[in-house]
Structure 1
Amino acid sequence: MTDTPARLLNLLSLLQTPREWPGSELAERLQVSPRTIRRDIERLRDLGYPVEATKGAVGGYRLVAGAAMPPLLLDDEEAVAIAVGLRAGAGHAIEGVDEASVRALAKLEQVLPARLRHRVSSLQNATIPLTRGDGATVDPRILTALAAAVTGRERLRFGYRSGEGAESKRLVEPYRLVSTGRRWYLLAYDLGREDWRTFRVDRVRDPFATGARFTPRELPTGGDAAEFFSASMARNQPELALDISFAAPAERVSSRLPGYLGTPEPTGPDTCRLRSRSQDSLEWIALRLALVDCEFTVHGPPALSEHLKEMGARLARAGG
């Protein structure tokens, strides 16, 4: 291999594998002499890559953690695996998979060769996900298009379906993507309505980046996207004050509830109490409480107690 830049990239790719490489094996892989490998290692060090060498009969080279992250070089199988994993997490709004993951997916899919994009899509289309909750899943391609527009500060056109089913066309300046743990939202300035809007991403259709750049406007809350989103949701749905006791340790209850519902406080070795506020529906909260799989008592709100009684009666009738 006489092409030095290509050889350095291949060498860096090998060194990113978590193992120690003997110089003779690297030379054999790259079809060069051990002396060339030593020179290439020095070139990588000059470029800022922390390559560590060990001496002795079993010595070799390995890449260690440094002050900066080097470009990540992936082979075809690794790239496909990462893209499919990110798509699966982003598409179903899994708690903890936030906007950073979607940005990573947007960057990865932008540089994937056409043959690999086809493999990713084929594998995704052939997979049936097992999801929980209200089924508000989104197309990862829509998420990546929105993330790219947010990052590139590019105006966006898309079709939108309201909660009542009304269809409309929107032209917006996208500001942030927000994940609540089970849904994705786009926070954007709607140019047609001359105001800020929050859009559910699972209701967005055919997003198209116009190519027109914009300077981000300041949010009414002074740039705090989380505060603005919370206020926007509060206007759309009343907030519920939850007060629930559980006959189980706080650690167990926390592991079975989504984090955004809050953290239960221990009231004893095997009991705890959750006091928090939520804008989720009664149906969703009732389902999440049932999935905790322990005895619990609802002290408030009264509407949740009534809904659980009705749900329990239906389940009892279903069981004969």
Structure 2
Amino acid sequence: MDAASGSADRGTTERVLTLLGLLQQRRVWTGPQLADRLGVTPRTVRRDVERLRALGYPVHAGQGVGGGYRLAPGQELPPLLLDDEEAIATVVSLLAGAGGAGAGDAALRALTKLDRVLPARLRDEVRALSGSVKSFDAGRAAVAPEVLMTLARACRDEVEAGFDYPSGSEVRRRRVEPYRLVASDRRWYLLAFDLDRHDWRSFRVDRMTGVSARTWRFRPRAAPEAAAYVQEGVASRVYTHRARFLVRASADTVRAQIPASAAVVRRRGTELCEVVTGAENLDFVLMHVLLLSHDFEVLDPPELGRRCNELAQRLLRAGAAMPPEQDTEKP
């Protein structure tokens, strides 16, 4: 390809991108209006519209009064064209969502995609603006967006990460292969392979300090399913006592009654489910399962079944001690 043809191709590409931006700005453009804005003939506009259609953009052409070119919603999401101001606004909004309360991990996934293509000239402005965005809802533990982005990049690029993390009364440096960030209703967690302990671990992101990503790449291992692993750890593995119940209700019904961070609910047919949870006190676990108002059986541990019988006897004695109700109805 000679210099002239290369320059022509770049000119065509820039013009088609400009056309796409115009179609995204307002509902309908006539052919002459687009030709005037682009400085080309209506025939060139028609050719450029066909190029956009070939790329997956559904550009519709209407005839007569009120007709013109219109960008319609498509079956699939094609590439989205953003100018500098739109890109900054999008990234700042996603940063606020990812680091604040009520956020889902979809915001973080979108951020990592934008982070790959965001021009360097915009990064300082994004950082300055994101620092001015706060949330009044304190439902989720606060995490700096920069920390989430550092960990998300490390997961995406498959590079080792390091951070200081409390262990008992000490704070130790952890070296990990990061795999996934998982959002719960209250916190962010990182699923990672701990290089010093040679095992999988989940870490609370709000407890991390000194978070950094290294340039050392790792070969991905066969990893557990991230959300399930983190949920089971949060709901049961971190507690002194781990309990399993067979509940006589559908899994969907029980999931609506118990927060995901409090228990793992596994389907056991249409009208049965298994509930796995944990606590520091077995009475606390029993109280919460009892308040679900469904019949249940204790599967594990054995001492929990014995505790059920002890409490049942105590309740029966308490009920038997009540004086009989007096008949107050007059003849």
Change (3 A) 1:64 1:299: closer
Give the corresponding residue for 1:161.
Answer: 165
Q: What is residue 216 of structure 2 aligned with on the other side?
A: 212
Counterpart in 1 of 2:13?
5
**Displacement of 1:18:** 5.8
Asked if the contact 2:55/2:78 (under 8 Å) is kept, the reply is no
Match of 1:235 in 2: 237
Q: Which amino acid is 1:174 matched to?
A: P
Residue number in structure 2 paired with 1:151:
156
Deviations 1:124-169 (A, max 9, x none): 2233432323x6211111112211222222222x222216563222
CA apart distance, 1:110: 3.2
Contact kept, 8 Å, 1:177 with 1:185, in 2: the verdict is yes
CA distance in 2, matches of 1:299, 1:48: 51
Q: Over alpha carbons, which structure has the higher Rg?
A: 2
Gaps of 5+ in 2: 1-6, 245-255, 264-274, 282-290, 294-331
CA contact (8 A) 2:176 2:193 kept: yes
Is 1:131 the counterpart of 2:133? The answer is: no
CA contact (8 A) 1:94 1:181 kept: yes
The CA RMSD over aligned residues, in Å, is: 3.6
Match of 1:273 in 2: none
- Residue identity opposite 1:56 in structure 2: G
The superposition leaves residues 80-120 of structure 1 with CA deviations (integer Å, 9 ceiling, x where unpaired) of: 2211111111102425x12x321211221332233422222
How much has 1:34 moved relative to structure 2?
Answer: 1.9
Higher relative contact order (CA 8 A, sep 6+): 1
Q: Identity percentage over the alignment?
A: 46
Q: Secondary structure at 1:162's aligned position in 2?
A: strand
What is the CA distance between 1:56 and its match in structure 2? 1.1
The yes-or-no answer on 1:192 pairing with 2:196 is yes
Q: 2:51 aligns with which of 40, 43, 50?
A: 43
1:59 paired residue number: 67
Asked if the contact 1:176/1:225 (under 8 Å) is kept, the reply is yes
Q: How does 1:1-320 map to 2 (within 5 A)?
A: 3-17=11-25, 19-95=27-103, 97-98=104-105, 100-133=106-139, 136-156=141-161, 158-162=162-166, 164=168, 166-219=170-223, 223-233=224-234, 234-237=236-239
Q: Residues 87 and 112 of structure 1: is their aligned pair in 2 closer, same or farther, counting only changes over 3 Å? A: same
Q: In structure 2, do the counterparts of structure 1 residues 240 and 40 end up closer, same or farther at CA, with 3 Å as the change threshold?
A: same
Q: Which amino acid aligns with 1:166?
A: E
Amino acid at match of 2:148: L
Deviation per CA, 1:35-93, whole angstroms, max 9, x where unpaired? 22111112222333321111113211122233432111112222122111111111024
Of 184-193 and 2-11, deviating more is 2-11
Which consecutive unaligned segments of at least 5 residues does structure 1 have?
Answer: 242-253, 263-275, 283-297, 301-320
Quick one: distance in 2 between partners of 1:77 and 1:137? 27
TM-score between the two structures when normalised by the length of structure 2: 0.66
Q: Is 1:189–1:195's contact at 8 Å kept on the other side of the alignment?
A: yes
SS in 1 for 2:219: coil
Q: Is the contact between residue 103 and residue 148 of structure 1 (CA under 8 Å) also seen in structure 2?
A: no
Deviation at 1:22, TM superposition (A): 1.7
Q: Is the 8 A contact 2:237 2:278 kept in 1?
A: no
Q: Deviations over 1:213-243 (max 9, x none)?
A: 3332224xxx3223322332222135799xx
